[in-house]
Structure 1
Amino acid sequence: MTLKNIIPILAASMLIISSYGSAKKAASSSSKSAKHNFPALHQKGMTAIVAHRGFWNCAAAGFAKNSIASLREAQKYEFWGSECDVHLTSDFVPIVFHDPTIRGREIQKNTYETFLSHRLKNGESIPTFDEYLTQAEQSKKTILVIELKPQYSPEHEEKLVELVLKAVKAHGLYDKSRVAFISFSKHICDILAKECPAFINQYLNGDISPEALAADGINGLDYRKSVIFQDTSIVERAHALGMSTNSWTVNKADEMQKLFELGIDAITTDEPLLLRDLLDRKEFKNK
């Protein structure tokens, strides 16, 4: 082969390589800047306050987590959100309780009747989700942040989502300004992404990147504070994708301040009055 023959071949090869590089760069740039049409969590430029298991940390609620009184107190103080935990009994009754067991008995493997005699710290019985929603109806200013707890099987998780959405609709609360959803179960978040994409739907476990969640249509993340402090780019990356962000459970002022500086949308806390006090100080306002 002569030099005369080689030159056109080299030129063609360089053109192909150049075109491939430009296309790859454009695709990468497009992927990084792609912003989804996800629901936003707006609180007038300030970090939103989510009372963890309601505003239980006060005498008026009898220091009872996930009690109806704790939700009522959160509503009284008009916090942006009041979080609650929802499990499903073996006879398909959604109840509001955090732990997977009550007196050593698994909630998912026992009937609702099994737990009727159990009392919370303030003397309330364990509320059914239906009873909790009756109280949620009383305020349009405090969103109910519903944590759907992981279940023992995909089928039980699907049933939990079905019954939670059915109850929310029955109480006239099926509105993105009235309820939001969070879960440690990726399967549950995937279902919610398909069933109600316009609602805030945040994944809790902290083991999936914002990019991977957004690709699956999950529009938010609510990660343990240690996860966010370990990788402070998470909030910015999530926002670049149009996702909402939250962090739990943050009870110290210095940690709250760190999250403000990262631009977090919401903070879940057992100390909502402390968080409000910090937000009310001009120097702590989120920019």
Structure 2
Amino acid sequence: MTTAAHPYFDHPRPFAFAHRGGVAGGLENTERAFRRAVDLGYRYLETDVHVTADGRLVAFHDATLDRVTDARGAIADLPWSEVARARVGGREPVPLFADLLRAFPGTRWNVDVKAEGALLPLLRVLQEQDAWGRVCVGSFDERRVARAQALAGNRLATSLGTRGVVALRLRSWGLPARPRPDARAAQVPVRQAGIPVVDGAFVRCAHRLGLQVHVWTVNEADAMRALLDLGVDGIMTDHVELLRGVLEERGAWPA
């Protein structure tokens, strides 16, 4: 099935993704960060999800609270009542993903499922809010995204995991490999471990297979321009004003 058949992708390209709401602002994965991106005109937002010890799905990148909040501990070991008291940057609460969906009804979300335990809670939230058309699920773990796809079916959009991206890279070099056929996007870095991932051959191969190419995390204007010249379908950035400016100079920022 092509990406055009799923409502997540029915928006003018290239997509501009606010990575964790815009990490450069210092309050990643908070409602304030996402609000700032939405106020700038972003309609695609990227986040990560973990689940608390009592089953609440939170938008947060790390497995522990230590790096970006004034609290400590592994999210999976803490009840929501404790996680809710933590403050990102000492200021902003850790949000529940369900609350973000409600707070920004006109947005679409790229969701990286960071832990296996977060998968079923995520699917429950999407079912409860009928948000299947607003979310693309990704993970480095190919088995995890394949499981999400198998559980939810075609109503859910998923991207390739690491194994699928490797297969797509090999196929773009003419080797007999095939990525997972029910994925709708390849979400990739420009290079990995010194090996180029995104080039013209990779983008053309993905497009032949009906896959979009979304590139993360791109924070320099020249790199953004080069990727757009290759025909990528989306760019994720920490610097939300910068990407907006690059797209505006090309007449590609959505009105």
State the TM-score, normalizing by the size of structure 1: 0.72
Residues 123-164 of structure 1, C-alpha deviation per residue, up to 9 Å, x if partnerless?
222112222222132xx2x3122221133xxxx3xxx22221
Distance (Å, rounded) in 2 between the aligned partners of 1:57 and 1:98: 15
Distance (Å, rounded) in 1 between the aligned partners of 2:34 and 2:198: 33
Aligned match for 1:100, one of 63, 69, 74: 63
Distance (Å, rounded) in 1 between the aligned partners of 2:16 and 2:198: 22
Tell me if 1:212 matches 2:168. no
For the 8 Å contact 1:260–1:284, the answer to whether it is kept is no
Please tell me the residue identity of whatever aligns with 1:146: V
Matches within 5 A, 1:111-150: 111-121=79-89, 123-137=91-105, 140=106, 142-150=107-115
Please tell me the residue identity of whatever aligns with 2:20: R
Distance (Å, rounded) in 2 between the aligned partners of 1:125 and 1:106: 16
For the 8 Å contact 1:64–1:122, the answer to whether it is kept is no
CA RMSD after TM alignment: 2.5
Structure 1 residue 198: deviation in Å? 4.1
Structure 1 residue 251: deviation in Å? 0.4
2:173 corresponds in structure 1 to: none
Structure 1 residue 243: deviation in Å? 0.9
1:48 corresponds in structure 2 to: 15
Structure 1 residue 72: deviation in Å? 1.5
Please tell me the residue identity of whatever aligns with 1:161: L
Distance (Å, rounded) in 2 between the aligned partners of 1:199 and 1:256: 28
Aligned match for 1:67, one of 15, 23, 30: 30
Cα separation, partners in 2 of 1:283 and 1:97, compared to 1, 3 Å: closer
Tell me if 1:203 matches 2:160. yes
2:187 corresponds in structure 1 to: 222
Tell me if 1:181 matches 2:137. yes
Q: Flag the structure with larger Rg.
A: 1
Tell me if 1:169 matches 2:127. yes
Gaps of 5+ in 2: 67-71, 169-176
Residues 182-214 of structure 1, C-alpha deviation per residue, up to 9 Å, x if partnerless?
222212210232213244311353753235323
Structure 1 residue 169: deviation in Å? 2.8
What SS is found at the alignment partner of 2:3? coil
Cα separation, partners in 2 of 1:282 and 1:98, compared to 1, 3 Å: closer
1:17 corresponds in structure 2 to: none
Please tell me the residue identity of whatever aligns with 1:169: Q
2:205 corresponds in structure 1 to: 237
For the 8 Å contact 1:133–1:168, the answer to whether it is kept is no
For the 8 Å contact 1:204–1:223, the answer to whether it is kept is no
Number of equivalences: 231
For the 8 Å contact 2:218–2:238, the answer to whether it is kept is yes
Of all paired residues, the percent bearing the same amino acid is 24
Please tell me the residue identity of whatever aligns with 2:29: N
Structure 1 residue 180: deviation in Å? 2.1
Matches within 5 A, 1:260-271: 260-271=228-239
Please tell me the residue identity of whatever aligns with 1:94: L
For the 8 Å contact 2:51–2:121, the answer to whether it is kept is no
Please tell me the residue identity of whatever aligns with 1:189: V
For the 8 Å contact 1:82–1:145, the answer to whether it is kept is yes
Cα separation, partners in 2 of 1:284 and 1:134, compared to 1, 3 Å: closer
What SS is found at the alignment partner of 2:179? helix
Cα separation, partners in 2 of 1:185 and 1:230, compared to 1, 3 Å: closer
What SS is found at the alignment partner of 1:275? helix
Distance (Å, rounded) in 2 between the aligned partners of 1:74 and 1:122: 20
